[in-house]
Structure 1
Amino acid sequence: MTFSLLARDPSSGAFGSVICSSSPAVAARCVHLADGIGAVHSQNVTDPRLGPRLLSLLATGQSAEQALQTVRESEPTLAWRQLLVVDAAGGAAVHSGSHALGTVGERTGDGVVAAGNMLATELIPSLMVERWSNRPEREPLEETLMAVLETAVEAGGEAGPVHSAGLSVISGLGWRVTDLRVDLSDSPIAELRRLLQVWLPQRDDYIQRALDPDASPGYGVPGDER
């Protein structure tokens, strides 16, 4: 009931995630990011515990494929799961269990992985990876992720209607500098695009507020006299 992409930006080392589903609150349940360590999606009959477990294995120095193999060897429910993993070196791995729902697709590339279930066509993940790999020079990471999701939807996306979506980026500062979610909507992609248009021009100001509040810009709210 989900299609998604995880990627590591080779120029900055940032990890980015974009995800969409017919189920509610997909980003809250499925997305796991850790600065300098890696990124994981745990989807399809989701077990959110697998995300932190895979990240902990990556933190020990295992590659994406090694961490995924470790979980394969010890987790009895993986036939129901779909897992996407990217490590700090740009390695990517994916697992689609035999009980994954509907039409299933997956694709890995250099520092990127996409996968989905209940898809309109198994080609959706390949189209997502191709859009990521062909991103225009200097395109902001968030814009690339949004375009990846829109490309998937334009190609058919999920077999049925989608209702939730999320877009997240972690870039070495210790928190998600972008973390946008639409949790229940009849048009989650359009709403996510609207949220991104509001957020992206302000993102760096909020980063500065965290790192250097004395120098951060004011917003004219009561009590802020700057």
Structure 2
Amino acid sequence: MRATILILITILFSLSGVSQQVYNKKQPFAHTFSIVARDTITGEMGVAVQSHWFSVGSLVTWGKAGVGVVATQSFVNPSFGPRGLRLLENGLTPKMAVETLLELDEGRDVRQLAILDVHGNVEAYTGKNCIVAAGHIVGAQFSVQANLMDKNTVWLAMAEAFKKSTGSLAERMLAAMEAAQNEGGDIRGKQSAAILVVKAKSTGNSWEDKAVDLRVEDSENPLKEMRRLLTIHTAYDFMNKGDLAVEVGDNKLAKEHYMKAQELNPDNLEMKYWYAVTLANNGELNEAKAIFKNIFKQNNKWKELTPRLIKPKLLTISEEQLQEILKL
């Protein structure tokens, strides 16, 4: 095994161009609880975290479509994120990647680390000197890990919540984090949270490879705010689907998507506006006018925008019908 680890270290050196990682007592604290997981239906992989530390997502959560995800925490070594992903890309298992990273790290006893790959293989580690309560549980295609917790039952609560939850991967991971907080969470309190979900296969375009990328950098209740943001994110996902349907001329499908978006985010004027535009394009002008009238009453700038949609053919109605809308 020692010989194998030395070979892996050589590989990592060649990939990263870095020397052995030396433990630095000034490295940031990211005492926290987190989850890495894979959706067995979509193949998406995700990592989610909450901590009493500013901008925890910038340190803890790492992922790459078609490769895997990493959570690096406790006295955090941020390099474990990109380096762990490189090791997975080069064919190492999560277990081999964790062993390789720790072999290089003089601070291994205060680290906590979890790595999951595109196949759902997962490995987690909790250093012997992580601040109690600290521990982890590896389950079927997921791992939960926590340190500096109020109780030693936090990570068990996370695992049970994730296994029992339904919905998207992001929703299930959020449920696990909410269970952790309900169990006591970080003994210091709460401040920031993050959720990152990457696709099962890379599109070749990094900007298309993240299904969810949300952060709450500083909040009195970061998970409550994350729940709100995730709901809005889902609503805008329906809006995007509606826009795509409009592009291909399927206004009926666009209407369905826009309606779902409104149901999730009922106070958003823009969502209502594009729904009204779709109704008008579908020939349902009276219903569209009622919505337009309400929107224009709240913000007249939407009326000013409306005639500008004619040239790019986003609004495909007659001049007479347009004037009916503008008179509202």
TM-score, normalised relative to structure 1: 0.89
Instruction: Choose between structure 1 and 2: higher strand proportion.
Output: 1
The 1:13–1:183 alpha-carbon spacing in structure 2 relative to 1, beyond 3 Å, is: same
Query: Using CA pairs below 8 Å that are at least 6 residues apart, which structure has the higher relative contact order?
Result: 1
Residues 35, 145 of structure 2: 8 Å contact kept: yes
Give 1:161's aligned residue.
189
User: Which residue in the other structure is 1:119 paired with?
Assistant: 149
- In the TM superposition, residue 207 of structure 1 has moved relative to its aligned partner by 7.0
Aligned equivalent of 2:219, options 185, 209, 212: 185
Aligned partner of 1:68 in structure 2 is: 98
Q: Which residue in the other structure is 1:89 paired with?
A: 119
Aligned counterparts of 1:67 and 1:110: Cα–Cα separation in 2: 19
> Do the aligned residues in 2 keep the contact of 1:177 with 1:203 (CA within 8 Å)?
no
Task: Measure, in 1, the Cα distance between the counterparts of 2:210 and 2:117.
Answer: 17
Shift of the 213–57 alpha-carbon distance from structure 1 to 2, 3 Å rule, reads: farther
Given the superposition, is the C-alpha separation of residues 212 and 176 from structure 1 closer, same or farther in structure 2, using an over 3 Å criterion? farther
Residue 31 of structure 1 is matched in structure 2 by 61
Displacement after TM superposition at 1:208 (Å):
8.0
Higher alpha-carbon deviation: 110-119 or 175-184: 175-184
Distance in 2 separating the partners of 1:71 and 1:213: 48
Deviations 1:155-174 (A, max 9, x none): 11111211001112112354
Pair 1:80–1:60, CA change in 2 (3 A): same
Shift of 1:204: 4.6
Is 1:148 aligned with 2:192? no
* Counterpart contact for 1:25–1:164, Cα < 8 Å: yes
CA deviations 1:40-77 (Å, max 9, x no partner) are 01111212111111111111111111111111222222
Give the alignment partner of residue 200 of structure 1, picking from 209, 227, 234.
234
* CA offset digits 1:3-32 (Å, max 9, x no partner): 000101111110122100000100111110
> Looking at CA atoms only, which structure, 1 or 2, has the larger radius of gyration?
2
The 8 Å contact of residues 19 and 166 in structure 1, kept in 2 or not, is answered as: yes
8 Å contact kept, 2:39–2:45: yes
Q: Which string of whole-angstrom CA distances, capped at 9 and with x for unpartnered residues, describes residues 107-147 of structure 1?
A: 001110110111111221122122222223xx122221221
> C-alpha root-mean-square deviation of aligned residues, in Å?
2.4
Could you tell me how far apart the structure 2 residues matched to 1:2 and 1:24 are?
A: 11
Partner of 2:198: 170
Distance 1:142 1:151 in 2: 14
Question: Helix, strand or coil for the counterpart of 2:219?
Answer: coil
- Which residue identity is paired with 1:125? W
How many residues are paired up? 223
Change (3 A) 1:160 1:215: farther
More displaced 10-residue stretch of structure 1: 86-95 or 172-181? 172-181
Contact (CA 8 Å) 1:128, 1:148: kept in 2 or not? yes
Matched, 1:133 2:163: yes
| Alpha carbons of structure 1 residues 61 and 118: separation in structure 2 relative to 1, 3 Å | same
Q: Percent identity?
A: 26
1:48 matched residue in structure 2 = 78
CA distance in 1, matches of 2:36, 2:186: 18
Q: Which runs of 4+ in 1 moved over 6 A?
A: none
Change (3 A) 1:34 1:212: farther
CA contact (8 A) 2:38 2:169 kept: no
State the TM-score, normalizing by the size of structure 2. Answer: 0.63
Task: Report the Cα distance in structure 1 between the residues aligned to 2:148 and 2:240, rounded to whole angstroms.
Answer: 37
